[in-house]
C-alpha cells in the first residue's frame, strides 16, 4: 500500500506576532502540489522505517524520523506491525513541509493499512502532537491556517490543476532561526522572506529568475524557505519556465507539478 506526502506551499503567510509560549501567531493559506515524497508499507512484526531516494542522506537517523513517530502515536502501544519505506524526493528543510507531509502521509497510510476506525478529527488531534503544519498536511487540500498554523478553515484560492513550478537553490534553512530573526517587518506574500534572505541571499536570485519567466504569477517563497514557486496559466508556460531555469541554473532542484 502506498501514499504520497504532498509538497506543501504557503500561498500567503502573515506573521501576527510572538506568543507567550515562544511560538508565533500566523495567518497563512496552505496549498499542496500533486507530487511529493512517497511512502509505502508492507507486513512486518513491529515498526521499522527504511529511507531511500535522492534526499535520503540529508535526513538523520530513521528511528527519530517523524514517520516513525507518527506510526508509534497512531499505534498507541498496541504492538501493530508495519515495514515503512520513505522515498525522499523533496529537499530537506526547504519550506515545503517535507517532514510534516511525511508524518501526515504516515497517519493516512497506516489508518488504512491497519483498518482503524478513526475520524478526521481524531487523526488531526494526533497530527497536532507532531507539528504545527501536520494537520494541514493531513488534509493536503487548500486551507487557511491561523494560530500556529494548526487552526484550519476552508479557503478558496487558485483552482486545482493550476500548473506549478517549485525551485530550490540547494540551501537548507532552519525554520526556528528564520522565526528568531523575524523583527515584525511585513513582506508581500510572505513575511518570513526578509529573515530567510538574510540567511540565504540566493533566495532573491530564485525569485528574480522565476519572476522573469513568461506567464509566471504569482511568485512566492514558501514557508521559511528556501524553496520558491511560481504558478502558471498553462502546462506549456510552466514547462518553458522549467527549461529556462534548468538552463540558467542546472545545479538548482526543481519540480514541475500542479495544485491539488
DSSP string, 164-223: EEEEE-S----HHHHHHH--S---SSBTTHHHHHHH-THHHHHHHHHHTSTT--SEEE-T
CA distance 177 to 89: 24
Each residue of 169-203: b (16+ CB within 10 Å) or e?
bebebebeebbeebeeeebebbbbbebbbebbebb
CA distance 42 to 88: 18
Q: Which of the residues 63, 133, 239, 251 is marked catalytic? A: 133
Q: What are phi and psi of 70, to 5 degrees?
A: -65, -40
Q: Which of the residues 8, 37, 88, 191 is marked catalytic? A: 8
Respond yes or no: is residue 133 known to be catalytic: yes
Respond yes or no: is residue 117 known to be catalytic: no
Q: What residues are labeled active site?
A: 8, 133
Amino acid at each position: 500500500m502506498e501514499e504520497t506526502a504532498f509538497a506543501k506551499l504557503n500561498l500567503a503567510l502573515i506573521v501576527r506576532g510572538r506568543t507567550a509560549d515562544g511560538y508565533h501567531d500566523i495567518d497563512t493559506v496552505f496549498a499542496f502540489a500533486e507530487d511529493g515524497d512517497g511512502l509505502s508499507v508492507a507486513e512486518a512484526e513491529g515498526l521499522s522505517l527504511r529511507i531511500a531516494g535522492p534526499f535520503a542522506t540529508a535526513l538523520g537517523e530513521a528511528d527519530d524520523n517523524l514517520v516513525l513517530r507518527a506510526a508509534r502515536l497512531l499505534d498507541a502501544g498496541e504492538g501493530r506491525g508495519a515495514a515503512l519505506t520513505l522515498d525522499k524526493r523533496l529537499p530537506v528543510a526547504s519550506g515545503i513541509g517535507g517532514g510534516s507531509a511525511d508524518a501526515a502521509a504516515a497517519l493516512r497510510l497506516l489508518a488504512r493499512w491497519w483498518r482503524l476506525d478513526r475520524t478526521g478529527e481524531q487523526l488531526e488531534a494526533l497530527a497536532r502532537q507532531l507539528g504545527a503544519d501536520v494537520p494541514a498536511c493531513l488534509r493536503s487540500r487548500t486551507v487557511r491556517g491561523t494560530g500556529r498554523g494548526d487552526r484550519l478553515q476552508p479557503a478558496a484560492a487558485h483552482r486545482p490543476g493550476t500548473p506549478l513550478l517549485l525551485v530550490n537553490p540547494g540551501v537548507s534553512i532552519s525554520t526556528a532561526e528564520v522565526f528568531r530573526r523575524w523583527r515584525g517587518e511585513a513582506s508581500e506574500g510572505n513575511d518570513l522572506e526578509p529573515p530567510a534572505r538574510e540567511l540565504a541571499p540566493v533566495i532573491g536570485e530564485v525569485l528574480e529568475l522565476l519572476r522573469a519567466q513568461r506567464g509566471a504569477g504569482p511568485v512566492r517563497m514558501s514557508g521559511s524557505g528556501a524553496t520558491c514557486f511560481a504558478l502558471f496559466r498553462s502546462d506549456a508556460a510552466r514547462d518553458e519556465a522549467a527549461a529556462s531555469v534548468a538552463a540558467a541554473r542546472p545545479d538548482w532542484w526543481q519540480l514541475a507539478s500542479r495544485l491539488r
